[in-house]
Chains A and B, each alone.
Chain A
Amino acid sequence: MAVDPDQELVEAAQAGDAAALEALLRRHHDRVHLLCRRLTGSDADALDATQEALIAVVRGLPRFDGRSRFTTWLHRVATNACLDELRRRRRRPRPGLPDDADDDGHPHHEVADPRGEEGLHAVAERLVLDEALAGLPVEFRAAVVLRDVCDLDYAEIAEVLDVPPGTVRSRIARGRRLLARQLEPPASAGNQAHPPDRPSTTAPEPPTPPQMAP
């Protein structure tokens, strides 16, 4: 195994070096947030899950033994935090409007930086992507996001999700296929951005996989 680029910081942090710990957290914050954003599909839940993940990293770091790469372990911890957040979200009743929903009950996303069409286009793309990802069963979503967003290989994803590599391969393929159906405009619809059979993001989610130990 190649030398883990985080090894030095990890060892220093484990020895109680505050600066090393902070540097480690800052180095990986964006990665964790991106994972959480794609998995939870919500800015607010992603922020929450990111914070939970970083706290879990800090608490688990003394037990991290370096047998896997730090980033693999980090993704495992962060994925668990996101799945926890999704479970909590599902358990929460929706007696009224969520605090991140508009008056019609639709989740609102942050307003685009008004820098013209490019910014709007980027936001529109992300909204479509968010909806497509939200339509995936969470186990497919996790596998696809870890592969295509976090760039982990199948062996690492298998370690993160605690499933055999063959299962990873199957979940990624099935997840991508579902995404392709949702993202690609039907042949007869020209450049229509929203296929008519696109599932609603408010559809109930399937059961989440069991909790993975960090």
Chain B
Amino acid sequence: MTDAPRTDDERDELASAYLDGEASPVERALVEGDPDLQDRVAALARVRAALAAAPAPAAPVEDPVAAALAAARAPGGLLDDASPAEAEATAAPSESVVPLPAGRRDARRLRLVAVAAAVVAAAIAVPLLGRATDRADDEAATATFESAEGPLDDDLAGSADRAGGAAEAGDAPLAADAAAPVSGAPVAVDLGAHSDLAALHDAVEARLQAQEEAEAGGSDPSSTVAYDGGTTTTGAVCAGELEVPAGHEVLLEATAVVDGVPVAVVAHRAPGAEPIVVVATVEGCEVLSAGPR
């Protein structure tokens, strides 16, 4: 840029480059001979100073470093004692346990473990349910878990990759902790096929109203479950995408089909608040809607 800049964008770009010492000699001369450009340099310099001087919150160094070192010591990792050949032979995902420090951000990994626990529980529970009773919701539970299988695996694999192995932290204590809320969630139901989201929301509304009436009549006292945070059984279809805040009551877990697309539905609410309905595609976990019903 050697001609005098005309537009605001051009003038700001020149002033900004000058400020950073990235302007050419010709450009520097232009700035130094133009009071307006010098004003722009001064304004941008104040922004730069504000950014540079802004206090950064102290961060705990131990947890991230410990997690990274744990990843390095995992089989096949940088600090793994095994030879490369041995490492390759032992680096199966199930053995790549990376102990992560406890903390709020491990909740996501807990949820991933919860998903795995849910799948195991489903594998055990579904056949038993099928044999044991004629309860109407058994077939719905079966449908839910069948539809969850494929994308669930994909999501776990993707998350493990993104987390650099963190999601592989399937050690027993974590799994035990995480499995508890999942086992207490309502049984998922199948809301059937709908032409669009509005129709699905109508079905959700009808279902919730029916539940409310049943509860009012005392016929179904256990249709809702107080939840302590994490992913419901249906939410396990899209781990991390269908989260339920701690303290919320899960009103409904369901699967459905909208315009030919399989979806998962979770309805929940804070005590005394309006229900919130979240709909996400089973494939790809795209959230189609989330909000009060």
Within 8 A of B (CB), among A15-70: 16, 18, 21-22, 25-26, 29-30, 33-34, 37-38, 43-44, 46-48, 50-59, 61-62
Known contacts A93-B287, A176-B47, A180-B47: A44-B243 contact under CB 8 Å: no
Query: Are B79 and A16 in contact, with the CB atoms below 8 A?
Result: yes
B184 contacts A by Cβ under 8 Å: no
CB distance from B188 to the nearest CB of A (A): 17
CB distance from A183 to the nearest CB of B (A): 6
Which DSSP category, helix, strand, loop or mixed, fits chain A's interface? helix
Query: Are B17 and A59 in contact, with the CB atoms below 8 A?
Result: no
Contacts of B268 in A (CB 8 A): 95-96
Within 8 A of A (CB), among B46-75: 46-48, 50-52, 54-57, 59-61, 63-65, 67-69, 71-73
Contacts of B55 in A (CB 8 A): 122-123, 125-126
A147 contacts B by Cβ under 8 Å: yes
In the complex, the chain B residue whose C-beta lies closest to that of A34 is B56
Query: Are B13 and A22 in contact, with the CB atoms below 8 A?
Result: no
B245 contacts A by Cβ under 8 Å: yes
> Per-residue 0/1 for A169-196: is the Cβ within 8 Å of any B Cβ (1 yes, 0 no)?
1101110110110011000000000000
Known contacts A55-B165, A179-B47: A47-B64 contact under CB 8 Å: yes
Once the chains are docked, how many angstroms separate the CA of A34 from the CA of B54?
A: 10
Known contacts A48-B105, A91-B287, A177-B12: A58-B276 contact under CB 8 Å: no
Query: Are A29 and B65 in contact, with the CB atoms below 8 A?
Result: yes
Which DSSP category, helix, strand, loop or mixed, fits chain B's interface? mixed
CB distance from A17 to the nearest CB of B (A): 9
* Interface residue count on the B side (C-beta < 8 Å): 66
Query: Are B22 and A129 in contact, with the CB atoms below 8 A?
Result: no
Q: Which of A46, A147, A174, A180 contacts B9 (CB 8 A)?
A: A174
Within 8 A of A (CB), among B194-222: none
Contacts of B67 in A (CB 8 A): 51, 54-55
Query: Are A95 and B266 in contact, with the CB atoms below 8 A?
Result: yes
B240 contacts A by Cβ under 8 Å: yes
Interface residues on A, range: 35 or more
B280 contacts A by Cβ under 8 Å: yes
In the complex, the chain B residue whose C-beta lies closest to that of A168 is B22
Contacts of A125 in B (CB 8 A): 50, 54-55
B20 contacts A by Cβ under 8 Å: yes
B15 contacts A by Cβ under 8 Å: yes
Number of A-B contacts (CB under 8 A): 194
Contacts of A59 in B (CB 8 A): 71, 77-78, 164-165
Q: Which of A43, A53, A88, A172 contacts B57 (CB 8 A)?
A: A43
B162 contacts A by Cβ under 8 Å: yes
A144 contacts B by Cβ under 8 Å: yes
Q: Which of A1-9, A148-156, A197-205 is found at the contact surface with chain B?
A: A148-156
Query: Are B105 and A92 in contact, with the CB atoms below 8 A?
Result: no
Query: Are B163 and A52 in contact, with the CB atoms below 8 A?
Result: yes
In the complex, the chain B residue whose C-beta lies closest to that of A123 is B55
Query: Are A180 and B46 in contact, with the CB atoms below 8 A?
Result: yes
Q: Which of A13, A21, A37, A126 contacts B59 (CB 8 A)?
A: A37
Known contacts A30-B61, A125-B54: A176-B16 contact under CB 8 Å: yes
Within 8 A of B (CB), among A84-108: 84, 88, 91-97, 99
Once the chains are docked, how many angstroms separate the CA of A23 from the CA of B108?
A: 28
Query: Are A99 and B245 in contact, with the CB atoms below 8 A?
Result: yes
Query: Are B12 and A148 in contact, with the CB atoms below 8 A?
Result: no
Known contacts A30-B61, A44-B105: A149-B13 contact under CB 8 Å: no
Contacts of B108 in A (CB 8 A): 48
Query: Are A126 and B54 in contact, with the CB atoms below 8 A?
Result: yes
**Additional pairs, 19, CB under 8 Å, beyond known A91-B285, A169-B13, A176-B44:** A14-B78, A18-B69, A21-B78, A21-B79, A22-B69, A25-B65, A29-B61, A47-B64, A51-B68, A55-B98, A55-B163, A59-B78, A59-B164, A99-B246, A147-B48, A154-B22, A176-B16, A176-B47, A180-B47
